[in-house]
Structure 1
Amino acid sequence: MLVKSSEKVQSLEPANTAKSSGVVTSSKDSANNLWKNKIVAKQEQVQVLTHWSIRGTLSQELAKAEQSEATIRSLYAGLERLAKQLNTQAANSKPQAMQQRSISSQVASLQSSANKKGSGLDSQLMLTDPTRPITRKLNANIDLISTRPHEENIHLMMGRSGKSLNLTLPANQDERANFNAVQSAFSQHQISVELSRENRLLFSAQKENSGPLLEPWIMSGQGVRVAAGNPISLQLSEISNPLNELADVANKNASVQEHRDQIQAAQRHLKANLIKVQAKRQQLLAQLQQLDTASSLGNSEQLTTVSSNAKQQMMSSGANSVSVIMAQANVTRNMVQYSLN
């Protein structure tokens, strides 16, 4: 029996349809795979770039920490040489004129090294840290905390910032209560207040809130702290570092013992900051090692986690706090002593 032409065409349609469907499906799969491969490639590229960006930042911070450490050791050694020169003299004597000039010259050289660009130290001989609060001290002639027999009403206008505060100190109120009142009043402007070893008021604020500390204040009010109620202009000053204080001692031709005391104070300050610098260096080295380990193992998930943690620590304002650094680095006093010898 002959098959009709129409029947032949009909018998071929299912086969053609199956082939066509297979081609379309294959094309879609190919397109999807290509799209997925592009996404994966982009993700890998982002991970690699992020890794190198974080690594570059950590390496830069490590170089700064190493420079800070080198500067501190150099300053400490210079102070040690100066101390040995004074050890042969009686404590109550004064350096001779020629020796005095030599001491002043050596201290000036140490100051120059500390202040040199790239020393890695800030004005307080500490590891440079942009997140550290700005601190200024009040003139020693202005007393806001001692007990007075009369009630005090004080108004402070803080420079061009437009910020001001009113302070009421009751008669016969003790120094602790007066200090607490001062702290409370300034805290409203995100300014913290502390007392120095010399019993002077220190005002600190983060950079974004530090404007009022950098301009003159106008103090007015009623009471003996503001004589006759006349407005008084106050200028906060920067805290002097131990090297600057040593220079003051040298310039006034103080006794040998005063020189020794200030040299020891400067060395204690440098030792304390060396601990922080070495702790910071160890922290950075540990983060770099974690990054490199994750990268060498090809563990993208771990690499992302480590990079994210490192970035978060670098951006955190508390990342450079002493407690955090000390806890992470576990630096010992013996290591510091060994580094200075």
Structure 2
Amino acid sequence: MLVKSSEKVQSLEPANTAKSSGVVTSSKDSANNLWKNKIVAKQEQVQVLTNWSIRGALSQELAKVEQSEATIRNLFTGLERLAQQLNTQAANTKPQAMQQRGISSQITMLQNAASRKGSGLDAQLRTNDPSRPITRQLNANMDLISKRPHDENIQLLMGRSGKSLNLSLPANQDERANFSAVQSAFSQHQISVELSRENRLLFSAKKENAGPLLEPWVISGQGVRVAAGNPISLQLNDIDNPLNELAKIADKNASIQEHRDRIQNAQRHLKANLMKVQAKRQQLLAQLQQLDTASSLDNSEALTNLSSNAKQQMLSAGANSVSVIMAQANVTRNMVQYSLN
């Protein structure tokens, strides 16, 4: 009997062991499932926040583009009113003193509207673009490309940047060859050179290379263009936009026809930029629509709700709404880091 009892006890041990093993395996599976669920939840949170951040950036850019478009339309309308006033007079006449003051006043108002903070336009009446090269023009009194009867050797120091160059222009070399020589000399400093309609040299460089264009140059040399002796200081100037050119015409009280020509030139410039702005706006709207489509295909209810609320707030009237949403979007990284902890 004792032997049988012992056998019974021994026969129970494997069963207890199997049961214990099953409990451990079940616990591990539960832990793994919880961990997987947590990872999925975190991924959904990251997706929601990423979607929100992208939408905020697109909406902010859209608000800037729409402001640029509104400014351009206002400037175009102001020029149209001015043109209508001038159309009542003969083309070869000049404005009377009182009319001239009125014309100058209207142009000044347009200039202020274009240059005020938040207009959405740069100095050339184009949309603000930080990546656009900086451009300056050389003083009209300094001619570096016309043909001259003597060999010339010019040394140029570009401000505090320490950058310098030597320019050799042989006697009787034509303007095209001289211009190519100037382009080649400046290209060594990542500065491109073009000619304006008035045959003035325009110097352009990306923002990171534009330091030399923002400081006075010192030029010296031997020849007719730059006489031997004391160095000459040169200051590059901003390029006149069409409104500034119109203002100059008004200040010298030019003929009505000259006023009309400048107004038409300014309107053509504005219209060309308006077309670019409208194309950019359509592109941004399409990107927002694509974001909406992507969100609607996602199964996450939180993503759909957040995207809808974000769009409604960011596209509401007023710049403050965009600023608020962007401020929230700027903390996305911190929120993501927190959610992953």
- Common topology (TM > 0.5): yes
The 2-side partners of 1:219 and 1:37 are apart by 71
Residue equivalent to 2:44: 44
SS state of the match for residue 165, structure 1? strand
- Cα deviation for residue 48 of structure 1 reads 1.1
- Cα deviation for residue 126 of structure 1 reads 0.7
TM-score under structure 2 length normalisation = 0.85
- Cα deviation for residue 149 of structure 1 reads 2.0
The 2-side partners of 1:294 and 1:225 are apart by 64
The 2-side partners of 1:4 and 1:192 are apart by 104
The 2-side partners of 1:122 and 1:299 are apart by 44
SS state of the match for residue 227, structure 1? coil
- Where does structure 1 lack aligned partners over 5 or more consecutive residues? 304-341
Residue equivalent to 1:77: 77
The 2-side partners of 1:98 and 1:3 are apart by 131
- Cα deviation for residue 229 of structure 1 reads 4.0
Residue equivalent to 1:323: none
Q: Is the 8 A contact 2:91 2:257 kept in 1?
A: yes
The 2-side partners of 1:229 and 1:299 are apart by 78
Residue equivalent to 1:294: 294
The 2-side partners of 1:34 and 1:299 are apart by 20
User: Which amino acid counterpart does residue 7 of structure 1 have in structure 2?
Assistant: E
Residue equivalent to 2:25: 25
The 1-side partners of 2:40 and 2:229 are apart by 73
- Cα deviation for residue 9 of structure 1 reads 2.9
Residue equivalent to 1:231: 231
Residue equivalent to 2:218: 218
Residue equivalent to 1:14: 14
The 2-side partners of 1:74 and 1:290 are apart by 31
Residue equivalent to 1:209: 209
1:98 and 2:98 matched: yes
Residue equivalent to 2:259: 259
Residue equivalent to 1:197: 197
- Cα deviation for residue 184 of structure 1 reads 1.5
Higher mean Cα deviation, 11-20 or 118-127? 11-20
User: Which amino acid counterpart does residue 186 of structure 1 have in structure 2?
Assistant: F
SS state of the match for residue 156, structure 2? strand
Residue equivalent to 2:120: 120
SS state of the match for residue 228, structure 1? coil
Residue equivalent to 1:61: 61
Equivalenced residue count is 301
1:243 and 2:233 matched: no
Q: Is the 8 A contact 2:220 2:228 kept in 1?
A: no
1:250-286 C-alpha deviation (Å, 9 max, x unpaired): 1111110110010000000000000110011001000
The 1-side partners of 2:115 and 2:153 are apart by 42
The 1-side partners of 2:174 and 2:3 are apart by 119
Residue equivalent to 1:339: none
- Cα deviation for residue 182 of structure 1 reads 1.2
Residue equivalent to 1:87: 87
- Cα deviation for residue 2 of structure 1 reads 6.2
User: Which amino acid counterpart does residue 130 of structure 2 have in structure 1?
Assistant: P
User: Which amino acid counterpart does residue 108 of structure 1 have in structure 2?
Assistant: T
Distance 1:6 1:171, change over 3 A: farther
The 2-side partners of 1:96 and 1:3 are apart by 133
The 2-side partners of 1:143 and 1:19 are apart by 98
User: Which amino acid counterpart does residue 262 of structure 1 have in structure 2?
Assistant: R
- Where does structure 2 lack aligned partners over 5 or more consecutive residues? 304-341
SS state of the match for residue 203, structure 2? strand
TM-score under structure 1 length normalisation = 0.85
- Cα deviation for residue 83 of structure 1 reads 0.6
Residue equivalent to 2:156: 156
The 2-side partners of 1:50 and 1:233 are apart by 52
The 2-side partners of 1:8 and 1:142 are apart by 114
- Cα deviation for residue 7 of structure 1 reads 2.2
Percent identity over paired residues? 85
Q: Is the 8 A contact 1:223 1:229 kept in 2?
A: no
- Cα deviation for residue 127 of structure 1 reads 0.8
The 2-side partners of 1:174 and 1:7 are apart by 117
User: Which amino acid counterpart does residue 43 of structure 1 have in structure 2?
Assistant: Q
The 2-side partners of 1:34 and 1:166 are apart by 72
The 2-side partners of 1:13 and 1:81 are apart by 102
Residue equivalent to 2:129: 129
The 1-side partners of 2:36 and 2:152 are apart by 74
User: Which amino acid counterpart does residue 248 of structure 1 have in structure 2?
Assistant: K
SS state of the match for residue 228, structure 2? helix
User: Which amino acid counterpart does residue 52 of structure 1 have in structure 2?
Assistant: W
The 2-side partners of 1:248 and 1:3 are apart by 122
The 1-side partners of 2:148 and 2:174 are apart by 8
Q: Is the 8 A contact 1:137 1:238 kept in 2?
A: yes
RMSD: 1.6
- Cα deviation for residue 4 of structure 1 reads 3.4
Q: Note the 1:317-332 alignment, pairs <5 A.
A: none
Larger RCO (CA within 8 A; separation ≥ 6): 2
- Cα deviation for residue 293 of structure 1 reads 1.0
The 2-side partners of 1:254 and 1:160 are apart by 41
The 1-side partners of 2:202 and 2:175 are apart by 15
